[in-house]
Amino acid sequence: MASLAETLETLEKRALGDLAGVGDDSALENWRNVYLGRRGALADYLRSVGQLAAADRPAAGQAANAVKVALEAAFADREAQIQALSLDARFEADRIDVTLPARRLHTGALHPTTQILRRIVSIFRDLGFRETEGPEVELDWYNFEALNIPPDHPARDMWDTFYVNPPSVLLRTHTSPVQIRTMERSTPPVRVIVPGRVYRYEAQDPSHEWMFYQVEGLAVDAGLTMADLKGVLVAFAQRIFWPDTQCKFRCSYFPFVEPGMEMDVQCPICRGQGCRVCKHSGWLELLGAGMVHPKVLTNVGYDPEQVHGFAFGMGPERIAMVTHVIDDIRLFYGNDLRFLQQFG
Ligand SMILES: [Zn+2]
């Protein structure tokens, strides 16, 4: 009897000791099988009670039941503790630090060339010019011949290009073919502004690219003169730079105009005082222009005795280089985000 009671006491102690070491659901289930299961330690003990003398059985049975109740209660407590612990662990894993700075959103911006092109076009739109475009893959006729540049003309050396299908299909070297295409399908008065990509077979350096943009303007009407051309160009320069920007015109040569000229503007950086950008001259070359050559008007079926026209062309990158003091044209199309992000 004494030894059975001792056995029960030892069993309870061992069970409670083991239970304290149980850390998760499967160990808990295992513990229950070992001590409280049908073939567990307590069941074994109860079977041994059956071998006692009949008088001793009730007391031994009661003692065993008391231990069973105590172990079941301890089990329930431990189960609740483990559930609470695993809930804490889950909360810990799901924790979000709301004080962390948010991830930065990357927003795009217009390319510096697009920005300046839109400004240029909108100024000419205010002056009554309509925006139009033309193909970048051109016929020799539109790029050269109709513009008074026949096949053996020395001016072709200035505009060497890439041939898509030699000798007649090429990448346009200027936006001027759009002048021809526009005049072919319209009757005067004509007033268009033509932005677009152009190509040159060119060795790249800080001021030369094989692909760049041009904006070209054309006006044709009865009675247009050089004074109209100068008025339009001065109005443009004073809107894109400063309202009091000074302009000067120099004689120049382009096969598709007569007379031809170039326009210089007072350096918008130093306002004519002289600086690095204008090479201390106070002036910057801005664009080429002139009165449309009578032969070009004839080529599109206009009568040069009835109508006159003027045309001008400029490089938007060049204007952006001046206004942003950029010293290498290759930066525009080098796809370097460190450069492009400065214009957001
Ligand atoms: Zn300057």
Positive or negative: CA dihedral 331, 334, 338, 341:
positive
pLDDT digit string, tens, across residues 219-239: 999 999 999 999 999 999 999
Query: pTM for the whole thing?
Result: 0.68
Cα 277 to ligand 1 centre (Å)? 5
pLDDT score for 204: 82
- Among candidate residues 128, 140, 122, the one with its CA nearest the CA of residue 176: 140
Token pair listed for 239 = 């809107």
> pLDDT tens digits, residue range 303-341?
999 999 999 999 999 889 888 888 888 899 998 989 998
Look-up of token digits 């039941």: 65
Within 22-162, strands assigned E span: 130-131, 137-139
Expressed in angstroms and rounded, the spacing between residue 266 Cα and the centre of ligand 1 is: 8
Collect all residues with Cβ–Cβ distance below 8 Å to 61 and sequence separation of at least 6: 46, 49
* pLDDT(1) > 80: no
CA distance 168 to 176: 17
CATH of 112-343, one of 3.60.21.10, 3.30.930.10, 3.40.50.2300, 3.40.50.720: 3.30.930.10
Strand pairing of 190-199 and 130-131? parallel
Q: What is the mean pLDDT of the chain?
A: 90
Dig out the tokens for 145 from the structure.
């011949």
- Which DSSP state fits 105? P
SS3 at position 81: helix
Query: Helices then strands (H, E): number in the chain?
Result: 11, 10
pLDDT band of 278, cuts 50, 70, 90 = confident
Residue 5: per-residue pLDDT: 73
Cα of 323 from ligand 1 centre, angstroms: 11
pLDDT tens profile 128-145 = 999 999 999 999 999 998
pLDDT of residue 167: 83
* Beta strands per DSSP E along the chain: 130-131, 137-139, 163-165, 169-171, 190-199, 211-221, 247-252, 257-266, 283-292, 308-314
Query: Ligand 1 centroid vs 208 CA: distance in angstroms?
Result: 21
Q: How confident is the model at residue 199 (pLDDT cuts 50, 70, 90)?
A: very high
Structure tokens at 152: 């053996």
Summarize pLDDT for 47-83 with one digit per residue, the tens. 888 888 888 888 888 888 899 999 999 999 999 988 8
Classify burial at 128, counting beta carbons within 10 Å of its beta carbon; exposed 0-12, middle 13-18, buried 19 or more. Answer: exposed
β-sheet with 308-314: strand ranges across: 130-131, 190-199, 211-221, 308-314, 283-292, 257-266, 247-252
Phi, psi at residue 251, to the nearest 5°? -65, 140
Task: Please tell me whether the peptide bond between 188 and the residue prior to it is cis, using omega within 30 degrees of 0.
Answer: no
Phi/psi region, residue 335 (left: phi>0; alpha: psi -120 to 50; beta: rest), is: left
Q: Percent of the chain at pLDDT above 90?
A: 56
What integer pLDDT is reported at residue 194 of this predicted model?
Answer: 96
What spacing in Å lies between the alpha carbon of 173 and ligand 1's midpoint? Answer: 29
Question: 263 by DSSP, 3-state: which?
Answer: strand
Active site residues: 159, 174, 200, 214, 257, 311
Distance in Å, CA 322 to ligand 1 centroid: 9
Bridge-based pairing state of the strands 137-139 and 169-171: antiparallel
**Cβ atoms within 10 A of the Cβ of 125, count?**
12
Condensed to tens digits (0 to 9), the pLDDT of residues 75-108 reads 999 999 888 888 888 788 788 888 888 888 878 8
Q: Ligand 1 centroid to 202 CA: how many Å? A: 28
